[in-house]
Amino acid sequence: MTLSQVGAAEAADADPSAPAEPTAQRSRRTAWITVGGILTVLLALTALSLSVGAGEVGPGRVLDYLLDTDGARADSRLALVVGDLRLPRTLTALLVGAALGVAGAQLQAVTRNPLAETGLLGVNAGASLGVVLGIAVLGVNTSYGYLALAFGGAVLASGLVLAIAGSRGGGSPMRLVLGGSAVGATFGGLTGVLIVNSPEAYDRYRVWVLGSLAGVEGWETLRQLAPVLGVGFVVALLTTRPLSALALGDDLARGLGHRPGATRAAVALAVTLLTASAVALAGPISFLGLLAGFLARAAAGPRVGRLTLLAGLVGAAVLTGADVLARVVARPFEAPVSVIVALIGAPTLIAIVRSRRMAALGLTDTSPGESSARTGHPEEKAPRPDLVIRRGALSLLLPRRSALAALGLAAALLAAVVVSAHAGQSELDLGSTFRAVFGYGDRLDVLLVQKFRLGRIVAGLAAGAALGLAGCLTQTLARNRLATPELLGVNDGATAAVLISVTASGTFGAWWAGPIGALVAVAVVTAVSGGLGARGYRVLVVGLAMSALASAVIQVAMARRSLSSASSLYVWTSGSLNGRDYEVATPVLIGLAVLVPLALVVARRLAVLRFDDNVASSLGVDPGRIRLACLLLAVALAGLAVGICGPVGFVALAAPVVAGRLAGPTRVPVLGSALVGAVLIVLADTLGRVLIAGVEIPVGIVTTVLGGPFLLWVLLGRKGNPA
């Protein structure tokens, strides 16, 4: 039964004697009632924004100024407070919120993904890189300079995404998503390189990145970007009809006279103009586009025109309300508006995604097509027969390809360890370093390598192996090569826990806080989302909401610490092995000694989960029990890794993909993923130490810079669907 039939049946049951009202007419009336309600709330929030703030000017005097009662506008103090501060700030909040809401709705419609948000095109990362370049390289210290550089960086990033997505035959939604993720990661890594080497740049950046409307004074800035916002709104309006046709599929859209490629390009242009202007005016407020789109979809359904209008109104209302709260919750100071948006939006988003309305729209359950697993690629050759080793009554089945891959990775790991131990040791050659690693050679050489170098390398090996294995488990569990522990809020939860432990104890290095924070985050996500079953978007949305809350806590904690303390913590939150040694690595090595064998034991059953649950059950596998075991293993491993070196990006994504290519499509590359993760961490740490003389780049920044191109190469470089 369709949704329209359900609605008609409910109407008939409510009043059998009355004729059934057409579903379309009732839906249209409900939508307009919703618009009217949101407009009423928006007007009330606008009035409140004009009445609250510094200057001790109440609503009565504000109204006098607006109506120019008894020449009130001639009062210089009133003109300053209302005309130069509150009016521009309120109008900026309305326009920025509407821009982010419309951009979020458009992006969700064109990618057919309700989880898409306005940072997807790399806009926020490009704007951040522009601002940091201006601070660290060009010496810019004016708000106008920040605005121009933020807008330029945002446009550059989105332009690169469009060029990548449009290559090789057109910009599909998947290419747009992957291109934005890759460019955003690379630009974010470059931003980290500049910040970590410039305390002054970091000091200014950590305030700007929180997002705020406190710097809006006068009309000059808004006047400069108003034409850009206007063009963005007009382009978004013109794309609503083609987007409605595009929702039916590219072929049907072409049959109706539309051009899917041109439509996607127009939507990307509108999103770029709106988001770049918003970031330039108020800083990166990335969660708002996702929230506004979800709230509008819950109220208006999937109709693109209504969705876009309501998303703009909701975005304006949420940002205006958040800005009012930012002025009053921490008087005489102001709270970061992005943190207020996260604190308001995350619980609201969780409530919406758990509602029956979202279930009726089909946003909480995975479709059969999405739940099916790809066990291989058509171009893969048939695997060669496995080796059978027999000795008497005992026999061992050894996968030929997997065994060869494991041997090759072990050799690569040994080479990476020797190269890392040799890096920076000008008095040792590679041969001497190799012997010193195993305790042979000159006593001073052995002391130098094993005491001052090898401890850090062992810590990197342990963290990399844990991340690679955690990524393998989550990707196989979710049947999605893009699934990493970050989706469940593991990294942000672990990072927040470590920072809280630093604040409580005053010392750094509480490795145990990482697993605890990761476990708490996953427990909350799974409990709130309704369990570990196939809940589709619900688990992902709850994970994103929890990550937003944890990120807000992290950003506020970093902004409120002294510059020296915040700078050292920023290096760790970027992912760093600086100061790590045997003492920190030992608990993780013990954990790996226990968890890797367990992962190998469940790997055989985990491979069955790549099929449908019914198939797994028919083969004697309990899907729920295996999911729980794998999830707990992944959380423990990722938490231990974060406790060692912080949230290192892309290793959990890249290691299973590389290991899977080496081992073949028929195996779950448990051991290979651990080996690849260890190799990647050690090599990235070595590169970060030797790339710039006298400067150490954290390992997480290196993996992030290199991870974007890797993501494109792996997921867009193959023929066919990149998913």
pLDDT digits (tens, 9 = 90+) for 605-660: 776 766 666 766 776 677 777 777 887 888 888 888 887 787 887 888 888 888 88
Q: Is residue 15 part of a domain?
A: no
DSSP state of 58: -
Q: How confident is the model at residue 511 (pLDDT cuts 50, 70, 90)?
A: low
Residues 458 and 332 in one domain: no
pLDDT at 100: 92
Omega before 332 cis (within 30°)? yes
Residues 292 and 409 in one domain: no
Query: Does position 127 have pLDDT exceeding 90, yes or no?
Result: no
pLDDT at 5: 39
pLDDT digits (tens, 9 = 90+) for 656-693: 888 888 877 667 788 888 899 999 999 998 888 888 77
Highest mean pLDDT among 384-388, 466-470, 508-512: 466-470
Among the three residues 298, 329, 345, which one is the final residue of a domain in this structure? 345
Query: Does position 497 have pLDDT exceeding 50, yes or no?
Result: yes
Q: How confident is the model at residue 99 (pLDDT cuts 50, 70, 90)?
A: very high
- How many Cβ atoms from other residues are within 10 Å of residue 256's Cβ? 13
Residues 463 and 538 in one domain: yes
Residues 330 and 212 in one domain: yes
Residues 411 and 338 in one domain: no
- How many Cβ atoms from other residues are within 10 Å of residue 258's Cβ? 18
The residue-averaged pLDDT of 366-382 equals: 39
Residues 307 and 419 in one domain: no
d(CA 683, CA 679): 6
Query: Does position 98 have pLDDT exceeding 90, yes or no?
Result: yes
Residues 117 and 195 in one domain: yes
Q: Is residue 715 part of a domain?
A: no
Residues 287 and 428 in one domain: no
Q: Are 281 and 147 in contact (CB under 8 A)?
A: yes
Q: How confident is the model at residue 57 (pLDDT cuts 50, 70, 90)?
A: confident
Least confident of 73-77, 162-166, 233-237, 588-592: 162-166
Residues 286 and 426 in one domain: no
Query: Does position 262 have pLDDT exceeding 90, yes or no?
Result: no
Highest mean pLDDT among 9-23, 490-504, 536-550: 490-504
CATH code at 459? 1.10.3470.10
Q: What are phi and psi of 273, to 5 degrees?
A: -60, -45
Q: What are phi and psi of 56, to 5 degrees?
A: 55, 45
Contacts of 692 (CB under 8 A, 6+ apart): 197
Residues 341 and 421 in one domain: no
Q: Is residue 119 part of a domain?
A: yes
- Angle at the Cα of 514 (from 590 to 337), degrees rounded to 5? 165
Segments forming the whole domain that contains residue 666: 405-708
pLDDT at 394: 65
The structure tokens listed for 620 are 């004697």
> Percent of the chain, pLDDT > 70?
76
The residue-averaged pLDDT of 344-372 equals: 56
DSSP state of 722: -
Structural domains counted in the chain: 2
d(CA 244, CA 40): 28
Mean pLDDT, rounded, of the chain = 75
Q: Is residue 356 part of a domain?
A: no
Least confident of 192-206, 274-288, 463-477: 192-206
Element holding 608 (H helix, E strand): helix 582-608
Among the three residues 297, 313, 345, which one is the final residue of a domain in this structure? 345
Residue 27 CA, chain-centre distance (Å), reads 34
Q: Is residue 628 part of a domain?
A: yes
Three-state SS sequence of 245-269: HHCCCHHHHHHCCCCHHHHHHHHHH
d(CA 393, CA 399): 20
For residues 319 and 28, the model is more confident at 319
Residues 423 and 287 in one domain: no
Q: Is residue 383 part of a domain?
A: no
Q: Is residue 634 part of a domain?
A: yes
The residue-averaged pLDDT of 557-567 equals: 70
Among the three residues 315, 345, 375, which one is the final residue of a domain in this structure? 345
Q: Is residue 721 part of a domain?
A: no
> Percent of the chain, pLDDT > 90?
5
Residues 235 and 314 in one domain: yes
